[in-house]
Structure 1
Amino acid sequence: MRQSNTYIIVFSVILTVVLGGLLSGVSQVLGPAQKKAVDLDTKKQILGAIPSEKAALANMTAEEILTRYSEVITSEVTDYNGSLVTTNEKGEPIVAENVNIEKNYKKPAEQRMLPVFKYSADGQEAYIVPTFGAGLWDAIWGFVAIAPDLETVVGVSFDHRGETPGLGARITSDEIQERYQGKELYNGQGEFVSVEMVKGENNPESNLGANKVDGMAGATLTANGVNSMLENYLGYYQNYFDKNVKSGSGTMTMNLENN
């Protein structure tokens, strides 16, 4: 039997309202759990930039990871000019862990908020900074731990959204990430050059040196994305290091009240 147009319209409106209400309810119920999962994953990646911490993460529960994070990490936020930022335009506190790096990536570099995570544990200290960029197919990101001398990479943790398995997706592997440990961010003339992943794989050490790491076979475009990501973001933080660390005003002293 044919239904009238009025019936169809009313039925569609009711169905839309009911489904919208259900989706809204599900979102409210799942929202806190999703936020907690994202927070845990972010803190795992930050800790994972420190090789000794990364090795321990696999055997830790979620609560143990969060506890460890609070024990060894403090954080602050800087702007592009290297000035510390503590509140937003509404006067609300800015928390480094809540800064959305992907959303900031869409803004001009001069308008971005740049979180800094300070690691201190068992006599080891490091500055950990986030990075974000574009791989072959989609977004890539990571965290880079830098020694207090501001010249040496302690470790990295990389992730991606859609790189090719067995090729560009290898940036998440220990094999690739370990290549960055101990690499230098400055050349012999004291100029910032970042760390570059070279083309091809199994390159002789003589082709690498202090500022380059071996590449990934068949993943040149992903490697180029990683190179650009590191050069850009580590470059953005130079003003912060110049103003807050090299000047002597910065310190690695832990202040757990800020965490």
Structure 2
Amino acid sequence: MQRSNLYIVVFSGILTIVLAVLLSGTSVVLKPLQDKQVELDTKKKILGAVMDISNIKEPNEILELYKTRVTSMVVDINGELMEKDAKGNPLVAEKIDFQKNHNKYKKDVESRPYPIFMYMKEDGSGVDAYIFPMFGAGLWDWISGFIALDGDLNTIRGVAFDHKSETPGLGARITDEAVKSRYVGKKLYDESGSFQSVDMVKGEKGLPLDDHHIDGMSGATLTGKGVNAMLKDYFGYYSTFIEKKRAADQPVAEVVSTEEEMVEESAE
């Protein structure tokens, strides 16, 4: 039975509207679940940078551990606390999409909000480690990381890397425990206090390296360069905060003159 053009147009229009409503409804229903999964994944990576969570299977246990051990803040490029964005909305570190944040402010690093996460000591007496999120470019697409520093804000406690499409068995190895463990104990600053970062060298030789270099990944030179650039860039963005905090935490040496020294000074 042949249908008129009007019938076809009306039928197509109704079908389009129905499908649009169904898709919109599905998106609304699924969004809270998707947001919850993103929250869980992010918090797992943050905790994974400072501890082994491989034996924790229950999502609620992860979320409870995060709640009891992690606090957060947002700072600007000058290391100053940021409480609101340009529109006056409260800034919450956990809700900042650092991938979107990186892309949105790619050319204007001074405008970005920079989230920082603090892993607190079990007795609540202070910060055990600082975790810094970062984002960069690998061989084929984006790479990201959470880098944890000990309380000295110099020594790497652990790392948690992720990627979108690095080559399996090559660049994708940045997520392997064997590669991540190479960063543990490395230092960002040298003995004179100059920033050095930590670089992955070209090739994989299995040889011990200094405090600022780790062994590379065979066949993944470009991914390694991407990770190096990401660490150097983002620790550069966080450097003012780190240096201010390190200076504030530096104990002030007290000069105590002994009685003998006082006598010598008087004699002079």
Q: Is TM-score (shorter-chain normalized) higher than 0.5?
A: yes
Structure 1 residues 67-216: aligned runs within 5 Å = 67-106=64-103, 107=105, 108-122=108-122, 125-205=128-208, 208-216=209-217
Percent identical across equivalent pairs?
Answer: 51
User: Number of residues paired by the alignment?
Assistant: 244
**Would the aligned equivalents of 1:136 and 1:163 in 2 still touch at CA under 8 Å?**
yes
Cα displacement string for residues 168-206 of structure 1 (whole angstroms, at most 9, x for unaligned residues): 11111100000000001023442112110000002422x
**In the alignment, what sits opposite 1:61?**
58
Cα displacement string for residues 41-67 of structure 1 (whole angstroms, at most 9, x for unaligned residues): 0000000001xx22x343341000000
**Would the aligned equivalents of 1:139 and 1:161 in 2 still touch at CA under 8 Å?**
yes
Deviation at 1:118?
0.5
**Would the aligned equivalents of 1:57 and 1:65 in 2 still touch at CA under 8 Å?**
no
Whole-Å Cα distance in 1 between the matches of residues 122 and 236 of structure 2?
29
Whole-Å Cα distance in 2 between the matches of residues 31 and 79 of structure 1?
30
Structure 1 residues 29-48: aligned runs within 5 Å = 29-48=29-48
Local SS of the residue matching 1:222: helix
Whole-Å Cα distance in 1 between the matches of residues 196 and 10 of structure 2?
64
**In the alignment, what sits opposite 1:7?**
7
Whole-Å Cα distance in 2 between the matches of residues 59 and 89 of structure 1?
38
Whole-Å Cα distance in 1 between the matches of residues 215 and 20 of structure 2?
51
Paired residue type of 2:211? A
**In the alignment, what sits opposite 2:231?**
230
Paired residue type of 1:238? S
Query: TM (normalized to structure 2)?
Result: 0.86
Cα displacement string for residues 137-180 of structure 1 (whole angstroms, at most 9, x for unaligned residues): 11110100011212111110001111111111111110000000
Local SS of the residue matching 1:146: strand
**Would the aligned equivalents of 1:128 and 1:145 in 2 still touch at CA under 8 Å?**
yes
**Would the aligned equivalents of 1:44 and 1:57 in 2 still touch at CA under 8 Å?**
no
Structure 1 window deviating more from structure 2 (32-41 vs 6-15): it is 6-15
Paired residue type of 1:28? V
Whole-Å Cα distance in 1 between the matches of residues 118 and 23 of structure 2?
39
**In the alignment, what sits opposite 2:222?**
221
Cα displacement string for residues 223-257 of structure 1 (whole angstroms, at most 9, x for unaligned residues): 111011111111110111233x134289xxxxxxx
**Would the aligned equivalents of 2:69 and 2:122 in 1 still touch at CA under 8 Å?**
no
**Would the aligned equivalents of 2:129 and 2:150 in 1 still touch at CA under 8 Å?**
yes
- The change in CA–CA distance for 1:40 and 1:154 in structure 2 (over 3 A counts) is same
**Would the aligned equivalents of 2:147 and 2:160 in 1 still touch at CA under 8 Å?**
yes
- Between 1 and 2, higher relative CO (CA 8 Å, sep ≥ 6) is seen in 1
The answer for unaligned runs of 5 or more in structure 2 is: 251-268
Q: What root-mean-square deviation, in Å, do the aligned CA atoms of Structure 1 and Structure 2 show? A: 1.8
